[in-house]
Amino acid sequence: MKKKYWIALIASSLLAIGGGIYFWSGHLVEQAVTSVVAKPTNPIDTTANIPEEVQKDRVNILLLGSDARADEASRSDTMILISADTKTKHVSMISIPRDTRVDLPGIGLTKITHANAMGEVNGGVHAGTLAAVQAASNLLGVTINDYVKLNFVGFQKIVDAIGGIDVTLPKAVGNIKAGNQHLNGEMALQLARNRHDLADGDFGRQRDQSYLLSAMGNKMLSIENIPKLPQLLNIIHTDLMDTNLSDAQSLALATDFKGVAKDNIKYFQLPGKGITAHDPLVGADLYYYEPDMAGVKKVVLEAVQY
């Protein structure tokens, strides 16, 4: 039975790549669009509140990169909303800075990265995920359909398993030179985590992460990697911390958007400014990124209508 399952996955992906999207794939993509994990809750009116009709035919997936270590509660070191139009095949990526100041229920104004950590303390890994998803939904004012939380070790393993990825960097990052570069897992992880060597700090890292995601997505479903899909899914399951997507739904979404033109992918960062303010969790003043909510709404509207 297990062997037939993997054969079905591989066959379906080949059909999708070679001859358009098979009904099986389209049906599962529609399931993802109609599912709802979080809608904005807005008791103090701080969210962008993007109308539901604007979000029609889009699937919004929150990607969480965790800094999990041993049994400690982890922060969501990376938060990227991937918003994809299932009809036009346009994809927007909105990076949320880890230091973004938001109002968390029962805590007050603190860093959005603390949502996952406090959720895990109170209810485990899944509770942490849901807290982070709700915080992102409230900040951006959008409905989030799905989520994927992966630790950084899993990311490195996947890149190595697919034979590395090719990216084009406008500037050198650490010991990785500018221009066209082929990265193995260790180098890709270095790029994904590096912010201290960048002139624009975390914003530069967010931009580099968007390059990595785009390159990795296309490489995973390249013809040479189709036979590796069972191995790749096993790696993902080993280091996957939490998701509401089944293997079949993940593959359907991936094949549906496989080969999306570079011009059909837009990357967005949230406007705001750096401030120092008191943090109720640690009882001290910390650096925050204070979002400009009028600017956030403008950015999100452009992203979800792309």
Q: What is the CATH number for 144?
A: 3.40.630.190
Q: Across the chain, what does the average pLDDT equal?
A: 78
Residue 291's pLDDT is what? 94
Structural domain span for residue 195: 2-304
The answer on pLDDT for 4 being more than 60 is no
The answer on pLDDT for 118 being more than 80 is yes
Q: Where are the alpha helices (DSSP H) in the chain?
A: 2-19, 23-34, 113-123, 125-140, 152-161, 185-193, 201-220, 229-239, 247-256, 293-304
The answer on pLDDT for 12 being more than 50 is no
Global pTM reads 0.77
The answer on pLDDT for 169 being more than 50 is yes
Give the number of C-alpha atoms closer than 13 A to the C-alpha of residue 93, restricted to the C-beta side: 22
The answer on pLDDT for 289 being more than 90 is yes
The total domain count for the chain is 1
Query: In terms of Cα–Cα distance, which of 142, 180, 178, 168 is closest to 59?
Result: 142
